[in-house]
Amino acid sequence: MPVALECISLTKSYGDMVAVNAIDQKFEAGTYACLLGPSGCGKSSTLRMIAGHEMVTSGDIILGSDNITDVAPAKRETSMMFQNYALFPHLSVLDNVAFSLKVRGIDKATRYKEAEKLLDLVDMGSYRDRLPSQLSGGQQQRVALARALVTKPSLLLLDEPLSALDPFLRIRMRTELKRLQRELGITFIHVTHSQDEALALADLVIVMNEGKIEQAGSAREIFNQPKTEFVARFIGGHNVLLQTDGKHAIRADKIAITKSAGEGTVAAQVSAIEFLGTTVSVSMEAGDLGEIVASVSENSFFDDAYDVGEKVHVGWEAQDLHKLAG
């Protein structure tokens, strides 16, 4: 059964260091949420407190109608999948998955039946007798997922689950994670430092910075209406411009480049060009405005290509400027 989770003024200090600073966040039942932020911003500490692997310094964690702040990890209906998978090297795939049921005193026949069900769910049924060392990274990841799900948690916590995979596999497994979450209908909280991953997966993206939540919202909200300069810069694809009435962000694909000046355009000089496939990223120096990056479609770039060093003019529609707080 999916249940909602709520963190209330959740705080973690390590000595004098405040790693998670009084965060308030609600996760609706059945949500795919991503905690997104740079290394050291407190993502893992938050996740470990929710899992019960880390003591809470202050604040509360409410799962469904229960305050689980001081409940032991195994009694929480949560399950955690670790970054390095932490499979037992001497146990077969089947025994790895059945392990947490064994700890809970469930008989052998039942726990193997459940473990086989989960292995089938992640397409690993035919690997049941192998040892972890006889599996590829992607296969180990699936086994770790099956193991985390075998206790039928209401909440699955995943700490950088894709970061050990190569880029190709990472994208494939991310699709599978999303499919699995939809099928199971349970809440997933997925920690990542990758903007792409969070935007691709999450119903709810929570951007963290220095132990605090900068912004929480849907992927489109975060991308189109970043609240702060930090979010605009971290999520990428935006330019932060200082205007007389404060800081604004404008999406790189909303910047127009022309060879001749027009109304309201700004003179700039091309400093770098990167071909990215469907788009071309053009960096320019625009005087007082500093660096401006435009994302131009491949076709329109090559219709009227310009070179590094060339003088151009940049413009944008006022309606595409998005005001930032502070």
* 44/295 with CB nearer ligand ADP: 44
Measure the CA–CA gap between 239 and 250, rounded to whole angstroms. Answer: 5
Structure tokens at 160: 């950088």
Quick one: which of 51, 42, 52, 47 has its CA closest to 21? Answer: 42
- Rounded Cα–Cα distance for residues 163 and 173 (Å): 11
Q: Which is nearer to Mg ion, 44 or 295 (CB)?
A: 44
Residue 43 found at the interface with ligand ADP (CB under 6 A)? yes
User: DSSP states of 146-205 as a string?
Assistant: HHHHTT--SEEEEESTTTTS-HHHHHHHHHHHHHHHHHH--EEEEEES-HHHHHHH-SEE
Instruction: Choose, by CB under 6 A, the member of 11, 44, 79, 187 that binds ligand ADP.
Output: 44
Piece in contact with ligand ADP (CB under 6 A), picked from 38-46, 65-73, 74-82, 307-315:
38-46
The residue among 188, 243, 212, 252 whose CA lies nearest residue 30 is: 188
Of ligand ADP, Mg ion, none, which one sits near residue 217, judging by CB under 5 to 8 A according to partner kind?
none
Listed ranges 41-49, 82-90, 93-101, 134-142: which one lies at the site for ligand ADP (CB under 6 A) = 41-49
Stretch that binds ligand ADP, among 12-20, 171-179, 215-223, 271-279 (CB under 6 A): 12-20
- Antiparallel, parallel or unpaired: β 32-36 and 204-209: parallel
Here's the x/- map for ligand ADP, 269-308, by CB under 6 A: it reads as ----------------------------------------
Q: Nearest-CA neighbor of 67 among 11, 154, 7, 157?
A: 7
Contact flag: residue 39 with ligand ADP (CB under 6 A): yes
Q: Which two tokens stand for residue 270?
A: 């091309």
Does 141 engage in binding with ligand ADP (CB under 6 A)? no
Options 3, 7, 33, 42; binder of ligand ADP; rule CB under 6 A: 42
189/202 Cα distance (integer angstroms): 9
State the minimum distance, in angstroms, from the CB of residue 20 to ligand ADP: 7
Task: Fill in the DSSP letter of residue 5.
Answer: E
Residue placing its CB nearer to ligand ADP in the complex, 35 or 63: 35
Interface with ligand ADP, residue 14, by CB under 6 A: yes
| Residue 41 in contact with ligand ADP, rule: CB under 6 A | yes
Binding status of residue 19 toward ligand ADP by CB under 6 A: yes
* Residue 16 interacts with ligand ADP (CB under 6 A): yes or no: no
Among 25, 44, 69, 279, which residue interacts with Mg ion (rule: CB under 5 A)? 44
Q: What is the dihedral of CA 243, 41, 21, 54, to 10 degrees?
A: 170
Q: Which is closer to ligand ADP, CB of 45 or CB of 195?
A: 45
Position 248, amino acid: H
- Binding site residues, Mg ion, CB under 5 A: 44
